[in-house]
Amino acid sequence: MVGYISNIYVGVYTVLVGMVITFKQMFKPRVTHQYPYQYEFERKDNYREIPIGNRGQLHNRVEDCIVCNKCAQICPVDCIYIDSRKPSGGRGAKLWESMNVVHLKDRKQIIGIVEGDTKKIEPDTEITINQTVPTGQTRKVSSNDVDRIVERKKVTFYMDRFDIDMALCMYCGLCTEVCPTECLTMVDTLQGIEYSEFDRANLNYSFVKPELYK
C-alpha cells in the first residue's frame, strides 16, 4: 500500500519537475515563425539570414556559358539537358566579334563592346558600352556600379537548348563546382527556395537566349 501511494507521488512529482521547464518557456520569446504569412521575422540573437552560398534553384547566365557540357556530365541524376551545334565555319569559328558582358552589382548584365581597356578599370570613371543586345544603342555606366567585365572572343558552339529539370535536381551542387566560367550558380536568396509550382512541367526551366546568337 505504501509502495502504491509512493508510486503515485513520484509519478506526479517527476511530471511536475518537467512541467517547471515547460512553464519557464512560457515567458521566453517565441521560436516559431508563422511562415509563409510572416516574412519579416523578428530579429533575435539566434536568427540569421539565408546564408551566402545556400543551395537553391539553379540559374545559368547564358551570356557566360561556353556550352562545355561539364555540368551535364557530372550531374548524378541527369537533370541538365544541353543541345549544341557547331557553327558553319567549323569548330572554333567566331560567331561574333570580340564582345564583353558587363556584370553590374545589381545582378544585371549589359552585353556589348566596351570601349577602351577592359582589364584595368579605374574607380569613378565612366564606361561606354556599344550594346549588341539589343543592337545599336550606347550605354554609359559608372565603373563603381560594375562588378566585373567578362570578355568573350569566340564561342565554339551554338546553344540550342539548355534546360534544367528542377523536379529531378537533388541539389548536390556538383554542377556549380565544375563550371569553368562560373555561370551556372545556385540562387542563394529567397527566390532560390520558393519556386513551387502546381504543375510539374513548370519546373523545367529553359535558359537559352536565341537573340544572343544572331
Partner 1 sequence: MATEESKFIEVQPFSDEMVLSMGPQHPSTHGVLKLELRLDGEIVREAIPHIGYLHRCFEKHAENLSYPQIIPFTDRMDYISAMNQNWGFCLAVEKMMAADEKFSGVPERAEYLRVLVGELNRIASHLLSFGTYGMDIGAFTPFLYAFRDREEILLLFEEICGARLTYNYIRIGGVSRDMPPNWLDHVKNFIDYFEPKVDEYNTLLTENKIFIARTVKVAVLDEDMAINYGITGPNLRGAGKKWDLRKDEPYSIYDRFDFDVPIGHDIPRIGAVLGDCWNRYKVRMDEMKESVRIIRQILNQKIPEGPIMAQYKAVRPPAGEIFDRSEAPRGELGFYIVSDGSVKPVRLKAKSPCFTALSALQELSKGLMVADIIAIIGSIDIVMGEIDR
Interface contacts to partner 1, rule CB under 8 A: 3, 7, 10-11, 13-15, 17-18, 21-22, 31, 46, 48, 50-55, 74, 76, 170-174, 177, 186, 188
Smallest distance, Å, CB 104 to partner 1? 25
* 8 Å CB contact between 197 and 203: yes
Smallest distance, Å, CB 76 to partner 1? 4
- Cα–Cα distance measured from residue 111 to residue 73, given in angstroms and rounded to the nearest whole number: 28
Smallest distance, Å, CB 67 to partner 1? 21
- Cα–Cα distance measured from residue 178 to residue 139, given in angstroms and rounded to the nearest whole number: 34
Pick 31 or 201: Cβ nearer partner 1: 31
Pick 34 or 88: Cβ nearer partner 1: 34
Residue 173 CB neighbours (<10 A) = 13
Q: CA 4 → CA 7, 9, 201, distances in Å?
A: 5, 9, 65
Pick 74 or 203: Cβ nearer partner 1: 74
Pick 11 or 116: Cβ nearer partner 1: 11
Burial (CB count within 10 angstroms: exposed 0-12, middle 13-18, buried 19+), residue 20: exposed
Smallest distance, Å, CB 46 to partner 1? 7
Pick 17 or 201: Cβ nearer partner 1: 17
CA 2, chain centre distance (Å): 68
Smallest distance, Å, CB 153 to partner 1? 29
| 3 state SS of 158 | strand
- Partners of 104 in the beta sheet? 146
